């Protein structure tokens, strides 16, 4: 009878933890990580075995900018489930932002090996970016092409692919990839227009390049992107 009582309490704690998780998700959507963290810290006390709760707490810390606490939470979650794709992906994202690219690659490669994960494009994109930062451009291109194949309208992945092509000296492919970004997300990626303009100038297609550079100056005046565009236009003596 005593064991049955303990099982009942455990089930109740799991239920209470899940309710706190749901409330924390609301706070996260409202861009209020402080309240989310308070709920999730209580949730993990109620159910320390859940990797999902540790993952959510870690991401709330990331949103608040508490990177050290986030890393501790990720590690605790991975002790519960070291192959968890979501945990490894999010931890890899944090490590990328901290400039720890080799560590990020280690986590993201584990995430990539989970063929059941629902959003593999995220893994391929982050892993491709990590490879690019450590100079493994062939691996970067391969993974970013896969990210784009799986999610063709994702501008962030296409932008990263353009950067990877540029690192290989594939100038035309890079310019075309940046142009694909501009079709859907020009307002969000002024740097894509800047890079496309510079690449077309590099290829001798001055008219096309100058058109992009002038548009950067016009659409984003007073920004570093406009300054860079003006400098390139001056270099072309235009």
Closest CA to 56 of 87, 30, 89: 87
Rounded to an integer, what distance in angstroms lies between the CA atom of residue 170 and that of residue 162? 9
Rounded to an integer, what distance in angstroms lies between the CA atom of residue 87 and that of residue 73? 10
Going 187 to 188 to 194 to 200, the CA torsion angle's sign is negative
- Could you please state the CATH topology (level 3) that the domain comprising 12-76 is classified under: 1.25.40
Q: How far is CA 120 from CA 21, 76, 109, 111, 189, in A?
A: 24, 23, 12, 9, 23
Rounded to an integer, what distance in angstroms lies between the CA atom of residue 232 and that of residue 88? 41
Q: Express each pLDDT in 93-138 by its tens digit.
A: 999 999 999 999 999 999 999 999 999 999 999 999 999 999 999 9
pLDDT along the chain (238 residues), means of 10: 43 90 92 94 93 96 96 97 97 97 98 95 98 98 98 97 97 97 95 97 96 97 96 85
pLDDT of residue 2: 39
What is the value of pTM for the model shown?
A: 0.89
pLDDT of residue 238: 58
The widest CA-to-CA distance across the chain, in whole angstroms, is: 87
Element (H, E) at 40: helix 33-46
Report the first-to-last Cα separation within the chain, whole angstroms. 87
């Amino acid at each position: 009878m005593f064991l049955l009582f303990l099982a009942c309490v455990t089930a109740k704690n799991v239920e209470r933890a899940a309710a706190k998780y749901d409330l924390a998700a609301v706070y996260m959507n409202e861009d209020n990580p402080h309240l989310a963290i308070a709920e999730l810290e209580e949730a993990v006390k109620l159910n320390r075995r859940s990797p999902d709760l540790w993952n959510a707490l870690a991401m709330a810390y990331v949103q608040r900018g508490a990177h050290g606490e986030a890393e501790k939470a990720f590690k605790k979650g991975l002790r519960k489930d070291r192959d968890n794709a979501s945990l490894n992906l999010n931890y890899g994202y944090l490590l990328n932002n901290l400039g720890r690219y080799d560590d990020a690659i280690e986590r993201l490669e584990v995430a990539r090996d989970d063929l059941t994960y629902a959003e593999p494009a995220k893994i391929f994109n982050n892993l491709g970016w990590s490879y690019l930062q450590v100079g493994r451009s062939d691996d970067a291109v391969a993974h970013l092409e896969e990210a784009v194949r799986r999610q063709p309208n994702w501008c962030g992945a296409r932008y990263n692919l353009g950067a990877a092509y540029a690192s290989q000296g594939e100038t035309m492919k890079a310019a075309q990839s940046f142009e694909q970004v501009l079709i859907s997300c020009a307002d969000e990626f002024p740097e894509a227009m800047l890079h496309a303009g510079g690449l077309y100038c590099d290829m001798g297609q001055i008219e096309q390049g100058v058109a992009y550079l002038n548009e950067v100056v016009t659409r984003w005046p007073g920004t570093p992107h406009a300054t860079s565009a003006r400098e390139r236009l001056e270099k072309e003596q235009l």
